[in-house]
Structure 1
Amino acid sequence: MIFVPYHLDERLYGLEADLLAPPGDEVTADLPEGDIWARLAVLYDRVADRVAARVAAGDRPVVVSGDCTVSLGTVAGLQRAGVNPSVVWFDAHGDVQSPETTTSGYIGGMPLRLLVGHRPDLIADRLGLRPVPEERAVLVDARDLDPAEVEYLAGARLMRYDIEALEIPEGPLLVHVDLDVVDPREVPGVLFPVNGGPTGPAVVAAVDRLIATGRVVAMDVACTWRPDGGNAQRRGLITALTKGL
């Protein structure tokens, strides 16, 4: 497992203790002052190098972090290793906002949109990240969408599924799981909880189905969390999600 103990460009202390034990391969960086995209590019370039090295060694890396944008580094790393993945994105949110549509300015609401090619000047070009074709990306659950995200998805080739109806895209697979996809009664303490949603066992079963294809090349696990409880539940869920890799 590769640990990236950040929420965007904020270093998080205690991620390993809160989410996983024992700690694994940790990625940190001295980030430059100024532009957030430049700061993230430095960090994610290191993530990409680490992922590429693990894939070259024959591993299927699991990248654990404090937010979903780290997936940009994961995909860049897979591409550096010669793998062009499709993306299966489990999340309570759409993560398909853009700088032009966001009302909050929160970058953590944009990574899937950036992965499929929006505004490569922001960070993709800095990482050498090529866009994932929309038809090779699927969004699972996403029960909390902003109007701009609904509008985008209505015209996009990126498909959205309920967890029971998931259709698996072609090619090698990056599985991305934001732990807030699970009903917050089962996984307390996430920063952006959304009521409802699938159970933990349902998400694990869906991920197991993907792993059983033999096409999963890497996994992202993201959790924006409050350090005030729920650690055992989060650790248990991560262990269950990754047991097949």
Structure 2
Amino acid sequence: MDAVKTNVSIIGVPLKYGADRMGVEMGPDAIRSSHVHQRLEALGYQTQDIGDIPVSLQKTDTCQAGEKLKYLQEISSVNKQLCHLVADAMGQGQFPLVLGGDHSIAIGTIKGVLQHVSRLGVIWFDAHTDVNTAETTYSGNIHGMSLAVALGYGHPDLISIGGIDKKLRPENVVIIGARSIDPGERPFLKDKGIRVFTMHDIDRYGMKQVMEEALQIVTACTDGVHLSLDLDVMDPAEAPGVGTPVNGGLSYRESHLAMEMLYERGVLVSAEVVEVNPMFDLQNKTARAAVELIGSVFGERIL
């Protein structure tokens, strides 16, 4: 993985407003305390932890007058800062590894990467597809809209982060592990032609074939690939500490095989790990799983 043979810049984003649920803001510290730095350094990488982006504790009303999206102002502000930090890290030749926080932070991460990678492929591991908009959302939670925003669909305050022209192409995006898709998301996914590998596909074809097809899609005419890893993609038995668990997810070994195959292709330029919620975890099991998967992403092997 040539892109990772530089320093790894770790950025924490203790944001909970996108999920509107307490606990996920403790995710970055839980991952750090599970020895992510030591894991990376044991693999030969130099890590630079630039700390956490400050998140205001003085949140506005759930929705401002006439606004359906919750905590839009805070989420927009944090993602603008994240966009700049990710872009700065990449400008210095570093690999940005972003620790969440809820999945709304993918907006800032991807927008930051797009400042340097004009055509970016994205592999989105998630139990959900996160392509809601204000017109389709039931909850108003922006963590369920982040992929739509990265594709250029959503509130102007969000799609304008990093430049309205900086957006993903749907033919370069793959979602893996989905098993909870809202009714309003289904036509969006079909209309945009986004490839979704559901758990049915993984059950039927196996993770190896799914990853081979996914990698073909995200590397076709792209300049690099971003990994967006939501821990709720795993089965709750493997990762109980998430805010929106859905039964029937990836096994421990399926998850590792996917990360190992990503490393082998040598195409990753950035990554984020999100939705670790220590308030729902059991003996830090989910945070430890996150760190172990990060190890596989960066080249750790059984033998």
C-alpha deviation, 1:234, in angstroms? 1.7
Distance 1:149 1:241 in 2: 28
Name the structure 2 match of 1:117: 152
Distance 1:181 1:223 in 2: 10
SS at match of 1:217: strand
SS at match of 1:227: helix
Name the structure 2 match of 1:212: 264
Task: Tell me the TM-score normalized by structure 2.
Answer: 0.73
Structure showing greater Rg: 2
Quick one: which of 17, 22, 35 aligns to 1:8? 17
C-alpha deviation, 1:84, in angstroms? 3.6
In the alignment, residue 248 of structure 2 is paired with which amino acid? Answer: G
Quick one: which of 155, 158, 168 aligns to 1:132? 168
SS at match of 2:279: coil
Task: Tell me the TM-score normalized by structure 1.
Answer: 0.89
Name the structure 2 match of 1:155: 191
Matches within 5 A, 1:212-231: 212-223=264-275, 225=277, 227-231=279-283
Is the Cα–Cα contact under 8 Å of residues 97 and 270 in structure 2 kept in the other structure? yes
Q: Does 1:144 align with 2:180?
A: yes
Is the Cα–Cα contact under 8 Å of residues 234 and 249 in structure 2 kept in the other structure? yes
C-alpha deviation, 1:68, in angstroms? 0.8
Is the Cα–Cα contact under 8 Å of residues 126 and 176 in structure 2 kept in the other structure? yes
Unpaired runs of 5+ in structure 1?
Answer: none
How many equivalent residue pairs? 245
Identical residues among aligned pairs (%): 26
Distance 1:222 1:240 in 2: 14
Deviations 1:20-53 (A, max 9, x none): 3258422114578575333222211111121112
SS at match of 1:81: coil
Distance 1:96 1:57 in 2: 32
Deviates more, 1:234-243 or 1:29-38: 29-38
Deviations 1:69-120 (A, max 9, x none): 1011011111223454211100001111111011222221111111111135
